[in-house]
Chain A
Amino acid sequence: MGLIEGLNQQYQSIAIVGLAKNAGKTVTLNYLIEEAYEHNILLGLTSTGRDGERLDLVTDTEKPTIFVVEGTLIATARSLIETGDAGLEILEVTEFTSPLGHITLCRVKEEGTVQLAGPTNSKDAIKIRDKLLAYGAELVLLDGAIDRKAVSAPGVTDACVVSTGAVLSRDIRKVVWQTSYFITILTLPKVTDSRMLEMGKELTSSSVIDDQYQIITPDVKTSLGKVNQLMAVVNEKTKYVYLSGAVTTAMMKALMMGKHKPTLLIDNGTQIFSDYFNFNSLVKKGLKIEVLQPIEVKGITVNPVAPVGYSFDSETFVEKIKEAVGDIPVIDVLGGIER
């Protein structure tokens, strides 16, 4: 079985998010493109949050080009239109800019290769996604950034596929830990209290919410003192502490210091800046986190080869990741092993 079949029925757009550079994101994209072709799915392709990744031609390691078939819709920077050998019909030069020129929408008339460099922020990415859908794409694949900025707005795509790889560490255990931690924070559970979920849409700054759904928003001056100011108004009636912006290990620790331990409420998992050990130890101590916008991770692709030369045994690697992440399908897109 493949990834795309299930995805296409449920979602209109999928982001591919890499844990690190060379984690195999582009291989994953090509893999999904092939699957889409086999299943006759008309794709829209773009990328986002690119920080000069493709521009870096000197250090560029073997980066596969993207092969697209007739009918595929792409959104890429103007200056990249004539770099590939695919025949492209120009549909629209948008007002959205990128370091490589205005984002231009094209339809593939003659199959061949293309290069993608899409919008640089998630607001533009949403509009580009909608344009691709409007031009007839059945599923939009968004080549996400190597950092978490791309997914920091889960509103851009309905779900994501995460790419991880040996490049993260020479120690396979560390790669598994980092991957598992990343998946855990991305897939933090949606707030169960439906009234809170509804109210959450209105929340903009860090607040404390009690069991009568009263919202107290202290005038917070600095993000450092934020949690302490919030904790000052926490009492036995407090149900949630809502934090906007980045949530660090120190902030979560401060939250656990008080007598009362309300549930931490955040917009989505990408706000959390911690690490595997600290995060797990906090969870063990009873830290409860719920999110307003859960992120759906519908697959994990692994690249057992690091560009500097070392590698893991593909089967073992896939097996270990699978053990750590549970229900999510894990695929070695190079070796074809899937669990």
Chain B
Amino acid sequence: MTPFMSKETGNKLNVDAIFDRINPISPYGKQQKKDMPVYRPGQEHLLKEEYGLMSYMEKYYVDREVISVLNHSKDIGESINRAVNGEVLSVVELFEVKHFAMNTMRILKTFRDNKFYDSIRIESLMDMVDLLDPAKERLSTFYIYDDYSEALKEVREQKNEVNHELKRLTKNVKDRLLAEYKGMGLRLSLKGDAHVNKSEERLLQRLDEDHRVYRSSQSVTSIVFSIRHTEEMSKLEVTYNDLKAKEEDEEYAVMAKLSKAIGERQESFRKNFEALGKIDLVLAKLRQAKGTNAIMPTIVENHCIRITNGRHVKTEEVQKKKEKSYTPVSIQLDVPTTSITGANMGGKTVTLKMIGQIAWAVAMGLYVPAEACTMGLSNYLFISIGDEQSVERGLSTFGAEIENLAKAFQFVNDRSLILIDELAGGTNPMEGYGITRSVIEFLSDKDSLSVITTHFDQAAGDKVQRLQVAGLKKIDLKQLEAELIENPDKGMDIISENMDYRLIPADLGETVPKDAINIAELMGMQKEIIERAKKYVEGM
């Protein structure tokens, strides 16, 4: 299936300004963000369910317990796979499985009133908690506890007894040595080793003659004496090492048993991975929505788009950074084709991007940056905006535009959303007009929604919704000029401050708009040129 939109379209719409703000906390949520589905026509019920879930989750959006659980969720998928494959998990892995099980149990209760949404249903892993916490201490620590096996408990007890006895015997020897060698500077380590400097000849000689110690190693300057094991001590040591080996065997047997039991519960673990990831992703989507004042759209079956005061998030952010205001725009697309005409700098391109970005957000199951929004889903989303990249590829602006449109028009009867900025703006006006008019006519009876911005006011026929940017119209140009004389460098700012970006039905009565010339004048074009241009336009 052809993707909903190309990467290029996504870049042009600046969808990253929204997508990058969706930040799940847990590895499971991060994975689900990568696999987010796109909702297309026919899947309205799924999308409505998703929005229902988001609405249900809104009350948990700053729930500390849930956030804490997500923060403490580590990816144990690999350990579960290993357990399923019959491998034995390490102590740290068992600790992590226990931690995961206890952690998920914490939010089992939180969503207990959830009756509808299976995708966030956590399964109880209480049996796993019990398995890994045999003494029911309910601590998140883990050790191969004595409780796991009588044999293990026994072997450990024996080992410790033997070790204790061995230590007692060694300590006896140590104590006696220390007493007998008092004043000779003999130091014994825990194990009972004595490092003796070679210069201490008297001590060396005496130690050499002492049957209780022997030279175990030496360096250039010192000799290490160790306590010689009596027969009894040697026997104990052999026993100790045997018991230690047995203990390791027993521990391994316990770990193998635990791993097997964990592997048998893989389904519940995997369901919980999914549920945790879903909870995480939904909360991340809600946090993003709050951050951009986004709202839940209304989903309808028929193909239409109605946006009240929609905002293009990226443009809004840029404006905010410059401490400038941003005017939201409303638009309704009920007929296949809409044309938008109007002055340069009138925000037509931003409006196209706003529509595309909101349509994308709905397709991704996100809330939308608008006051209200009703939407019927589209199969594909295209936008054609002149950009630098195609020029770099060696295509002229016009060539790149036509190449893109030809691609988009393949899907013109597949319920697509097609957004075209300044159609044929890069070629001569005569032919440009012809192409524009013909494209608009072509689109006006197809099963797609299309929006075309153009300077060719007359290009749209009757079947088309004709809109225009309100523009500079209602503003006193004389006053603007006065402002400009005071601040000659502020042309751009003054225009944007006095520009009405809203869309109104196109005024078909007025034949020749003058905003372009007015703006050229405001931007500081030479008077002489402006006067002549006005004259030529009037003569047309």
Contacts A81-B91, A90-B141, A311-B220: A337 and B197 contacting too (C-beta < 8 A)?
Answer: yes
Nearest-neighbor residue (CB-CB) of B146 within chain A: A109
Contacts A305-B219, A336-B195: A93 and B92 contacting too (C-beta < 8 A)?
Answer: yes
Contacts A314-B197, A334-B222, A335-B195: A104 and B92 contacting too (C-beta < 8 A)?
Answer: yes
A52 contacts chain B at the CB level, 8 A cutoff: no
Most buried by A among B159, B185, B219, B221: B221
Nearest-neighbor residue (CB-CB) of B94 within chain A: A90
Nearest-neighbor residue (CB-CB) of B143 within chain A: A89
B189 contacts chain A at the CB level, 8 A cutoff: yes
Chain A residues, Cβ within 8 Å of B95: 90, 93
A326 contacts chain B at the CB level, 8 A cutoff: no
Q: Are B91 and A34 in contact (CB under 8 A)?
A: no
Chain B residues, Cβ within 8 Å of A38: 190
Chain B residues, Cβ within 8 Å of A332: 197
Complex Cα gap A88–B91 (Å) = 9
A276 contacts chain B at the CB level, 8 A cutoff: no
B74 contacts chain A at the CB level, 8 A cutoff: yes
Contact of A315 among B74, B197, B220 (CB under 8 A): B197
Mark B136-148 against chain A: 1 for CB-CB distance below 8 A, else 0: 0000111110000
Complex Cα gap A38–B95 (Å) = 32
Complex Cα gap A104–B187 (Å) = 35
A88 nearest CB across to chain B (Å):
7
Nearest-neighbor residue (CB-CB) of A70 within chain B: B160
Contacts A89-B142, A90-B142, A314-B197: A305 and B91 contacting too (C-beta < 8 A)?
Answer: no
**Contact-residue bracket for chain A:** 20 to 34
Residue tally, chain B, CB below 8 Å to A: 31
Chain A residues, Cβ within 8 Å of B247: 110
Contacts A81-B90, A335-B197, A335-B221: A109 and B187 contacting too (C-beta < 8 A)?
Answer: no
B156 contacts chain A at the CB level, 8 A cutoff: yes
Q: Are B92 and A90 in contact (CB under 8 A)?
A: yes
Chain B residues, Cβ within 8 Å of A312: 221
Complex Cα gap A92–B140 (Å) = 8
Chain A residues, Cβ within 8 Å of B191: 67
Mark A197-223 against chain B: 1 for CB-CB distance below 8 A, else 0: 000000000000000000000000000
Mark B195-209 against chain A: 1 for CB-CB distance below 8 A, else 0: 111010000000000
B274 contacts chain A at the CB level, 8 A cutoff: no
A53 contacts chain B at the CB level, 8 A cutoff: no
Contacts A90-B142, A91-B141, A305-B220: A78 and B92 contacting too (C-beta < 8 A)?
Answer: yes
Chain B residues, Cβ within 8 Å of A37: 190
Q: Are A110 and B90 in contact (CB under 8 A)?
A: no
Contacts A34-B189, A311-B219, A313-B221: A110 and B156 contacting too (C-beta < 8 A)?
Answer: yes
Complex Cα gap A46–B195 (Å) = 26
A69 nearest CB across to chain B (Å):
8
B96 contacts chain A at the CB level, 8 A cutoff: yes
Interface residues of B in 152-199 (CB under 8 A from A): 156, 159, 163, 185, 187, 189-191, 194-197, 199
Q: Are A315 and B185 in contact (CB under 8 A)?
A: no
Most buried by B among A34, A37, A314, A332: A314
Chain B residues, Cβ within 8 Å of A275: none
Q: Are B90 and A82 in contact (CB under 8 A)?
A: yes
Q: Are B91 and A90 in contact (CB under 8 A)?
A: yes
A6 contacts chain B at the CB level, 8 A cutoff: no
A276 nearest CB across to chain B (Å):
25
Chain B residues, Cβ within 8 Å of A111: 163
Complex Cα gap A104–B140 (Å) = 13
A304 contacts chain B at the CB level, 8 A cutoff: yes
B470 nearest CB across to chain A (Å):
50
